[in-house]
Amino acid sequence: MDEILEQTLLYDFYGELLTEHQQKIYEDVVFNDLSYSEVAKEQGISRQGIYDMIKRINRILMGYEEKLHLVEQFLNAKKLAARIHALAENYLAERDMDDIYEIRRLSAEMMELQN
């Protein structure tokens, strides 16, 4: 997965679990594309301190994902939904009953992801 996409998804799912200070620094570096030096000057700490904090935050976010797997489940559900959509479109175009059975199977699999 693209690193920026991965960081975005991890932050979307787990960012609220970070402190406000961590959130601010992470958003400035990752999403607002500020340099470590710019953020360090704004925060009154060293550039190395910002670098270390970003690495620590990334480890924290990855740790949450390793335990909870919310991003993985989201991506799996998204993939299944796309497949269901394609099958439904195909069914509407061709009236293929095999597509209906596949839609039912995939939708049941999606519901199982929620349990």
Q: Which residue has the tokens 């394609």?
A: 86
Distance (Å, rounded) from C-alpha 49 to C-alpha 18?
17
Q: What's the chain's average pLDDT?
A: 89
List pLDDT tens digits, range 81-99: 888 888 887 777 777 677 7
Q: What is the pTM of this model?
A: 0.78
Residue type, 11: Y
List pLDDT tens digits, range 29-57: 999 999 999 999 999 999 999 999 999 99
Distance (Å, rounded) from C-alpha 39 to C-alpha 85?
43
| Under 8 Å between Cβ of 51 and 88 | no
What is the pLDDT, as a whole number, of residue 101? 78
Cβ-proximal residues to 78 (8 Å cutoff; 6+ apart), any chain: none
The arithmetic mean of pLDDT across residues 11-36, rounded, is 96
